[in-house]
Amino acid sequence: MKYILLSYLFFFTGPLAAWAQTPSAPPPLGVWADDSGDSHIELYRCGEELCGRLVWLRQPTDANGKPRLDERNPKEERRTQPLHNLTVLQHLRYSPENERWEGGEIYDPENGRTYSCYVGAAGKDRLEVKGYIGFSMIGKSHYWQRVK
């Protein structure tokens, strides 16, 4: 009898143990359009984390025809860096429990503020990117579409 119980235990827990060791979901690598249509962000691996940089801007230059700069950055020494290729997402790590990339930061060059954030799937070729201060329930979600 105990051998039958052991075989049942192995049969049912074996697949669970294998599932628990499955590598985390693949990161949403590639280029994504923000929901305003004003920019494209490339998500890429930076070590074990997920990062993102601005790779396209609807308005890449200022009124004088010069590349737009990170003028609202709170760090004065960074206000002369171009927005093109600026890292705006960083420190995101995959959470299997929540099935999303979280614990990161998103920088908004429009206001110079950095927010906590997470990134999760919101459908095929669609991401929910939520920036917040303090608690994720208090924040704003944006939905990005994969650029083909």
Answer whether residue 21 shows pLDDT above 80.
Answer: no
**pTM for this entry:** 0.80
- Average pLDDT value over all residues in the chain: 86
Q: Which residue has the tokens 């060791």?
A: 21
pLDDT band at 135 (very low <50, low <70, confident <90, very high): confident
Answer whether residue 3 shows pLDDT above 80.
Answer: no
pLDDT digits (tens, 9 = 90+) for 49-107: 999 999 999 999 999 999 999 999 999 999 999 999 999 999 999 999 999 999 999 99
- CA-nearest of 42, 38, 56, 20 to 110 is 38
- CA-nearest of 136, 43, 140, 139 to 92 is 43
- The DSSP symbol for 134 reads S
CATH architecture for segment(s) 23-146: Beta Barrel (2.40)
